[in-house]
Structure 1
Amino acid sequence: MQTLLLILFFSLLLVIFLYSLAQLNLLINYLKQRNKPDTSQKWHFSEASDMPHVTIQLPVYNEKPVVERLLKNIAEIDYPKEKLEIQVLDDSTDDSTELTKKLIAEIQSRGIDIQHLQRTNRKGFKAGALKEGLKTATGEFIAIFDSDFLPKKDWLYKTLPYFKDEKIGVVQTRWGHLNRNFSLLTKLQAFLLDFHFILEQNGRNAGNHFINFNGTAGIWRKSCILDAGNWHGDTLTEDLDLSYRAQLKGWKFKYLEKVETPAELPITLKAARSQQFRWNKGAAENFQKNYSKMLFSPGISFRTKLHGFFHLLNSSMFFLVLLLALLSLPLLAIEPGNHREILVGILSFFSISTLIFFFSYWTTFAKTHGRSMVSFLKFLITFFTFFAIAMGLSLHNSIAVLEGHFGKRSAFVRTPKFNLTKGQSYRSSEKQEFSIQLLFEMLLMTVFGLAVFYAFKRENYSLLLFHLMLFFGFAYVVFTSLNIRFWKPNSFSKPVRSGVK
């Protein structure tokens, strides 16, 4: 039995090791290209008449806290008025529509072409709204911004020039973070997103592998959307789906790390859970929908197919981590001798995976925080805290992944927006609902706490760090879920000062 457990444990670690090697390849790609000059073809607009028509689409759904900020920001975009159209794709079911109508009327009075498009149902959710807006969009290029994104005035001038290359179907920009330092939770989300937008997107783009439009802060060539089959609402990540279908058609994507588009990070665990569930389930759905097409496409290199495999299965790593965690528990009972030595040898070899992740994340952290001893110490704390809490979310995210792979359909749940920044707080009478999932997370917290105690009792420290991180990760998830109160979706009050620094 111990031999079988070790084989299973080894097999799971092997998959994670192969995934880490793919990440290492992206790191190498990124390091090779980061100092190279950009030789892309670009338009140099000399007159307004040379500029193409652009449509900006703003999909919104019950976004009362942020809709005013969004519309005022978009109205300041620098572009010839006669060449710009703005579509507010409003699926709202609350009283935010009245505010939206009022704001749009004010903007229209300034001679800006902005339209308020409302549907009678949410068929296809965000994908359905984008598809509906595309029917009447006059622009050759379609820029998309979620309700919490605030592009700078010159955003179109920085992105449109790259479409001189007729093979470019999408230009994607890097997400910035308006509220990075609001809390521990927002700092950890920024840590993850910086890794994706600095290393992964650059690494894939530099290696000519498939990348993804990130749902917002990017601009499409309209003909590319139509050629790829238009927006589909059959996955929870319609952006990833259309990205793969477009690239399978031969379209190229351009990623611009230096163009930053600031946005708001979820400030509550409930909101972050909701977003993570959608992203992780959507990735699994896209693997089922698109990977076989990619695998059997003759014009795609083996290396790109391999990166596409790990890209679409990225979220499935949470399920592997959960299985590893559960398998590790009976391994604590291994007596000193051959089997324990084998376990230590396995863990020693696969620590290479941890080192690869460590250096990859340090590369992106140093890019945003600088290279100093203080920065490195902050990174150490952030790195282990991030992975501990990621482990704590492994049950929640595994449920999402399994639902995605097995085809269970669910609604597109919007991530709540709060429009709060550092130094502000929020009040709500809404309480976290107790659930079977939370009960299991409490059980896992207890089990891994006991595993830490047992390790000291049996003097078997081979899995101690792993179990400590699991214990703290599940403890964070449990206690945060039980103690934090949230806004009701339509009951925002004036923010008050708090002790957050």
Structure 2
Amino acid sequence: MLSLMLCVLYFGVLLGLSAYGLHRLHLVILCRLHRAKLSRAPEVAALTDRDLPPVTIQLPLFNESTVAARLLDAVARMDYPADKLEIQVLDDSTDETQGLVRTHVERLRARGIDAVYLHRTNRVGYKAGALDAGLKVAKGELVAIFDADFIPQPGFVRAIVGHFEDPAIGMVQTRWGHLNRDVSILTKVQALMLDGHHLVENRARFGADLLFNFSGTGGMWRKEAILKAGGWQHDTLTEDLDLSYRAQLAGYRFIYREDVVSPAELPEDISALRAQQYRWAKGTVQTARKLMSRVLTAELSRGQRLEAFFHLTPHFAYPLLVLLSVLLLPALVLFPAADTLTMLAIDLPLCTATTGSLAAFYMLAETAQGRSRWGAVARLPMLIALGTGLAPHLSKAVIEGIRRMAGEFVRTPKQGDNKGRYKVRTDLPITEALLALLSCGAVVASVQTGHYFATPFAVLFAVGYLYVAFLVGQEQFARRREVTSSAPAVASDAAVVGAWSRQGTKDRPLGDLAA
């Protein structure tokens, strides 16, 4: 009976993961089917300076002293009539960023640039609250948004503003570039993951007239669309995804422009990446809680509703992946090794649905930007390993998203011109270390029992958990050493688990924390 239950659970998990894998393959097919529409996306009405609408560029900041000046200088170079462009600096900072940015804004104003500095004395609503406060006084009919680590190009506004001649267009999203793609294997894998989102998911959904989302930065909104959709709300940690669905349910259409690229930084340490991914995972689950029933009962096509389901639930694959890691060892021990025919009939299709579809997905992401598809193949094992290593932490995010709405918005630290200035505190990788040991046992068991088909996956699980556990442990050790030596130049954000924020020490230097 126990063996039967284990068998049902094991293959149920595999089928669940396969469903998300096949969905990725479906997106690849959609990109192929709608190539003609995607190629026409850059065709936009050319407007004279006289006909250009007023635009506000919002720059939400929170303790961004390492990148704020770079961002402001980039936006100041925007090729757009000065009398029709407003720059809003929405600064919630509690450190030296305040003085730095305020002085920079004054210099821009002295040059005749319409730059406004808005500082809130509280972080109510976090980023969503700052955007909402700025929107109330924004001069522009259209609102572009850039996070602090982005470097918008001079032609950004002119390239996409013509789309809004159609009153049905509510938002235009552009592609993210990567300033530090080749710094490490960690940044290379992140770049591939984000390229998959932008160059496969967004392109497929836009091409097939499915619902897709504003990515939080590097896009432009019609102000009226935001207001009619209910404005920026902060009951989820993914305010961009939440607003995107509400706006499309209100009847607005979105456009994706893969040819307009805004470079940005990728997190270079694992703690920052985990914090970022945790926020995205928890917020997406919260948005699903908030809007899924409304989406499934809206006047949408069956295809739109089905795609929205997969769009709002992808992070549920992480608990499935952790469960698969736990079940693998007992499954290898209790189940007899399959003969060749059984492997071809069961194991091979499941493997193809998961790994094969993943390869096709990221190969398309590479070729869509003129890169070799074999680069994606070479990085795929590490991508799978990293996803596995992040799975326990992100499974906690999924559970938190199911349990409660909102929560603390822990922003991703930016490196800029002072690496190490901002850091994220995080929990020790105890779960990852235990799962690494379990996966190492599965590697040995797969060889001893003749389950050779499972060996590569057990190895990837073990490598993924060990890699993340090692990096997190290494960073924690280095930061404890910094605290001990009272290094005054290094600051810390709130812990993902909220430890420092509960003590009222958020964003104080590590040297102060040690005092």
Q: TM-score, normalised by structure 2?
A: 0.89
CA distance in 1, matches of 2:224, 2:423: 45
Greater Cα shift, 21-30 or 114-123:
21-30
Q: Which residue type is aligned with residue 204 of structure 2?
A: G
Report the CA distance shift for 1:34/1:431 in structure 2 as closer, same or farther (over 3 A). closer
SS of the equivalent of 2:304 reads helix
Q: Give 1:496's aligned residue.
A: none
Displacement of 1:289: 0.5
Report SS of the residue matched to 1:393: helix
Query: Is 1:417 matched up with 2:414?
Result: yes
- Distance in 2, Cα, partners of 1:32 & 1:490: 56
How far off its partner does 1:441 sit? Answer: 1.3
Q: Please provide the CA RMSD for this pair.
A: 2.4
CA distance in structure 2 between the aligned counterparts of 1:335 and 1:24, rounded to whole angstroms: 30
The Cα offsets for residues 271-329 of structure 1, whole Å up to 9 and x where unpaired, read as: 101100000111101110011100011x2001110000000001111111111221222
Q: Once the two structures are superposed, what CA deviation does each residue of 1:394-438 show, in whole Å capped at 9, x if it has no partner?
A: 100100011112226420001000116xxxx94589896653xx1
Kindly state the Cα deviation for residue 454 of structure 1 after the two structures are TM-superposed: 2.4
Which is worse superposed, 34-43 or 460-469? 34-43
1:356-405 superposed Cα distances (whole Å, 9 cap, x missing partner) = 2211211112333534xxx61x4333001111111011100100011112
The secondary structure found in structure 1 opposite 2:260 is strand
- Confirm or deny that 1:79 pairs with 2:70: no
3-state SS of the aligned residue for 2:144? strand
Q: Distance in 2 between matches of 1:343 and 1:402?
A: 34
Pair 1:350–1:408, CA change in 2 (3 A): same
| 2:229 partner letter | A
CA distance in 2, matches of 1:392, 1:480: 11
**Which deviates the most, 277-286 or 34-43?**
34-43
Q: Shift of residue 40 of structure 1?
A: 7.9
Q: Does 1:18 align with 2:15?
A: no
Amino acid at match of 1:331: A
Amino acid at match of 2:380: F
Matched residues in 2 for 1:120 and 1:273: separation?
A: 28
Distance in 1 (CA, whole Å) between partners of 2:56 and 2:455 is 55
Q: Distance in 2 between matches of 1:23 and 1:434?
A: 32
Cα distance between partner residues in 2 of 1:394 and 1:109: 50
2:489 matched residue in structure 1: 491
Query: Aligned partner of 2:352: which letter?
Result: I
Aligned residue among 452, 461, 469 for 2:460: 469
Query: For the residues of structure 2 that align with 1:227 and 1:145, how far apart are their CA atoms?
Result: 22
Distance in 2 separating the partners of 1:50 and 1:434: 54
Q: Distance in 1 between matches of 2:68 and 2:290?
A: 34
Alignment partner of 1:346 is 2:337: no
CA distance in structure 2 between the aligned counterparts of 1:431 and 1:72, rounded to whole angstroms: 27
Q: Which residue of 1 aligns with 2:497?
A: none
Change beyond 3 A, Cα 1:49–1:465: same
Give, as a single letter, the amino acid of the residue that structure 2 aligns with 1:289. K
Deviating more after overlay: 481-490 vs 239-248: 481-490
SS of structure 1 residue aligned to 2:220: strand
- Tell me which residue corresponds to 1:497: none
Q: What's 2:385 paired with?
A: 388
CA offsets 1:184-242 (integer angstroms, 9 cap, x no match): 11111000000110010000111111000000000000000000000001101000000
1:357 aligns with 2:384: no
Higher mean C-alpha displacement, 454-463 vs 81-90? 454-463
1:34 CA drift (Å): 2.9
Q: Secondary structure at the match of 1:368?
A: coil
CA spacing shift, 1:247–1:104, aligned 2, 3 Å: same
Is structure 2 residue 121 aligned with structure 1 residue 123? no
Structure 1 gap ranges (5+):
494-501
SS in 1 for 2:308: helix
Q: Distance in 2 between matches of 1:75 and 1:263?
A: 17
Superposition deviation, residue 15 in structure 1: 2.2
Q: Give the structure 1 partner of residue 439 of structure 2.
A: 448
Work out the CA distance in 2 between the residues paired with 1:416 and 1:445: 28
CA deviation after TM superposition for structure 1 residue 5, in Å? 1.5
**Runs of 5+ in structure 2 lacking a partner?**
492-515
Deviates more, 1:83-92 or 1:324-333: 324-333
1:35-75 deviations in Å (ceiling 9; x for gaps) = 554178733212x2211010110000000000110111111
Determine the C-alpha separation between the residues in 2 that align with 1:457 and 1:171. 55
Amino acid at match of 1:382: R
Aligned to 2:209: 208
How many angstroms apart in 2 are the aligned matches of 1:112 and 1:165?
A: 29
Structure 1, residues 335-358: CA drift from partner, whole Å, max 9, x if none? 537799868743222122121221
Report the Cα distance in structure 2 between the residues aligned to 1:459 and 1:26, rounded to whole angstroms: 36
* 1:403 counterpart = 2:403: no
Instruction: Give the AA of the match of 1:480.
Output: L
2:306 maps to 306
Q: Alpha-carbon deviations, 1:461-498, whole Å to 9, x = none?
A: 232111111100001011111113469998269xxxxx
- Distance (whole Å) between structure 2 residues aligned to residue 238 and residue 164 of structure 1: 26
Pairing of 1:36-435 with structure 2 (within 5 A): 36=37, 37-38=39-40, 42-46=44-48, 48-297=49-298, 299-336=299-336, 345-353=345-353, 354-368=355-369, 370-371=371-372, 376=374, 378-407=375-404, 409-419=406-416, 426=419, 435=428
Farther-moved stretch of structure 1 (333-342 vs 157-166): 333-342
The whole-number CA distance in structure 2 between the counterparts of 1:84 and 1:490 is: 39
Once residues 327 and 416 of structure 1 are traced to their aligned partners in structure 2, the CA distance between those partners, rounded to angstroms, is: 36
**Counterpart-to-counterpart distance in 1, 2:335 and 2:320:** 26
Give the direction of change, closer, same or farther, for the CA distance of 1:41–1:183 in structure 2 (3 Å limit).
Answer: closer
Distance of aligned partners of 1:344 and 1:475 in 2 relative to their CA distance in 1, 3 Å threshold: farther
Alpha-carbon deviations, 1:235-279, whole Å to 9, x = none? 010000000000111110000001111111111101101100000
Amino acid at match of 2:28: L
Distance of aligned partners of 1:98 and 1:363 in 2 relative to their CA distance in 1, 3 Å threshold: same
Question: Residue 499 of structure 1 corresponds to which residue in structure 2?
Answer: none
CA distance in 2, matches of 1:101, 1:428: 20
Q: Secondary structure at the match of 1:459?
A: coil
Give the structure 2 partner of residue 439 of structure 1: 430
Equivalent in the alignment of 1:460:
451
The 1-side partners of 2:8 and 2:426 are apart by: 39
Contact 1:445-1:475 at 8 Å conserved across structures:
yes
Change (3 A) 1:156 1:62: same
Kept after mapping to 1: 8 A contact 2:145/2:218: yes
Q: Per-residue deviation at 1:22? A: 2.3
Change (3 A) 1:419 1:337: closer
218-227 or 333-342: bigger deviation: 333-342
Contact map agreement 2:234 2:406 (CA 8 A) in 1: no
Aligned residue type for 1:462: F
Distance in 2 (CA, whole Å) between partners of 1:221 and 1:429 is 34
Residue range with higher mean Cα deviation, 354-363 or 456-465:
456-465
Q: Distance in 1 between matches of 2:452 and 2:360?
A: 25
| Cα distance in 1 for residues equivalent to 2:185 and 2:42 | 39
